[in-house]
Amino acid sequence: MAINLLDFTRICRRLAKQAFGSYAGKPASGGLPRWVHVVVHCLRLEEGWTYTEVIDRLRLMPAICELLDLLPEALPDPTTFWYSFDRFAMRVWRALLRVSAQQHPNSGHVALDSTFFERGHASHYYLKRVDRTIQTLKVTTLTDVESLAVLDVHCSVKWRHDTILGRKLVRRNADELVSVAADKAFHNWPIRYEYYAESIEPLLLRSGSTLGPHLHNALIRTNGYNQRWMAETSYSSTKRSLGPDVRSLAWYRQFREIVLMFAIHNIEGLSETL
C-alpha cells in the first residue's frame, strides 16, 4: 500500500513528540531534538533506506526537512542517526508503539499470535564471526481484531512456549482487554483461570479429540474466535511493506527495529494513501 510520505512524516512527528513528552526537545549536550531522530528512523524503515541514503534523500525533500526543522544544506552526518538508534532505549520505541496504537479505535477484543523474522539477512560474515547460530527471532503480538492495530510486542531469541509469552502480553494490557483469541499453543488451564480473574474472556482453542474439546472449540468459534486471523493479517501487511527480516546486527537493535516496524504498521493505517 503506497502512502503519502509527507502525511506519514507529519503523523510521525506528532506521535514522536507524544512518546517523549517533556523530553522531546534537544538534550542538554546539544544536537538535534530527540523527536527528530525518531521520525528519521521511521522514514528509514518505511522506505528501506540505509543511514547514508537517508541523508541523501532528505537533501532532495525540502518539504520533509521543513517538517523536521532541518536545513537540506546542513544535514548531520549519517552516523548521528546510527548512534541515536543505539542510544535510545527500548522504552522509547515501546512508547511510540503505544501512542500509535492509541490513535486507532480500541475494541478490547484482541488476537494473540506469534510470527518469525529472519535475522541472517544483514551480514552473513558478521553472523559467522560472532558464531551466531540462531537465525530467526520469535515475535508475539497483541492485535486489535477490529482496527488491526498492534497493541504490544514481545521479541525473543530463545523460543519459549507460547503460553509463557502470551501470559506476559496479556498481563501488561489486562486493563484494556475484553477477550483474547488464540490457538491451541497458548492454552492451558491455569492461564484460562488467570484470564477469567482479570475479567477477560479467553477464546483459546483446546487440543484433544474427545467430545469435550470439540464442544469447547465449537462454542468459542461462535463467540468470536474466528477473528484470530486478523493477527496474521497484520503480520502479512507489515512484512509486505517493510520486509520479513531485520537488518540490524546487534540483537538489542533488532528488538528495537521490530517494535519500530509494528509502530510504523500502525502509523501507515493513519496515513493518507496514494
Q: Is residue 114 within 8 Å of residue 137, measured between CB atoms?
A: no
User: In whole angstroms, what is the distance from residue 56 CA to residue 203 CA?
Assistant: 49
Taking only the tens place, the pLDDT of each residue in 187-223 is 888 888 889 999 999 888 887 777 777 777 777 877 7
CA 43 – CA 93 distance, rounded (Å) = 14
Long-range contacts of range 118-122, CB-CB < 8 Å, 24 or more positions apart? 118/244, 118/245, 118/246, 119/245, 119/246, 119/251, 119/254, 120/245, 121/245, 121/246, 121/247, 122/245, 122/246, 122/247, 122/248, 122/249
- Using CA atoms, how far apart are residues 224 and 170, in angstroms rounded to an integer? 18
Q: Any idea which of 58-62, 111-115, 246-250 has the lowest mean pLDDT?
A: 246-250
Encoded amino acid at 189, one letter: W
The pLDDT assigned to 215 comes to: 79
pLDDT > 90: percent of the chain: 57
Strand partners, 273: 3
DSSP state of 28: T
Residue 39: band (very low, low, confident or very high) from pLDDT cuts 50, 70, 90: very high
Dihedrals phi, psi of 158, to nearest 5 degrees: -90, 125
pLDDT bin (cut points 50, 70, 90) of residue 127 is low
Domains of the chain by start residue, with CATH: 5-88 (no CATH), 105-248 (3.30.420)
Convert the pLDDT of each residue in 141-170 to its tens digit: 999 999 999 999 999 887 778 888 888 999
DSSP-derived letter for residue 145 is: T
Q: Which pLDDT band, with edges at 50, 70 and 90, does 18 fall under?
A: very high
Q: What is the largest CA-CA distance in the chain?
A: 71
Distance (Å, whole) CA 51 – CA 41: 9
The model's confidence at residue 20, banded by pLDDT at 50, 70 and 90, is very high
Question: Helices 5-20 and 34-47 meet at what angle, rounded to 10?
Answer: 140
φ/ψ of 114, rounded to 5, equals: -125, 150
Note the residue count of the chain: 274
Question: Model pTM greater than 0.85?
Answer: yes
Q: Quick check: 99 and 13 in contact, CB under 8 A?
A: no
Nearest CA among 204, 224, 221 for reference residue 109: 224
Mean pLDDT of the chain: 88
Distance CA 83, CA 48 (A): 18
Question: In angstroms, what is the C-alpha Rg of the chain?
Answer: 20
CB count within 10 Å of CB 273 equals: 10
Distance CA 35, CA 38 (A): 5
- Kindly state the average pLDDT of the residues 102-118: 92
Bridge partners, 117 (sequence order): 137
Q: Is pLDDT above 80 for 186?
A: yes
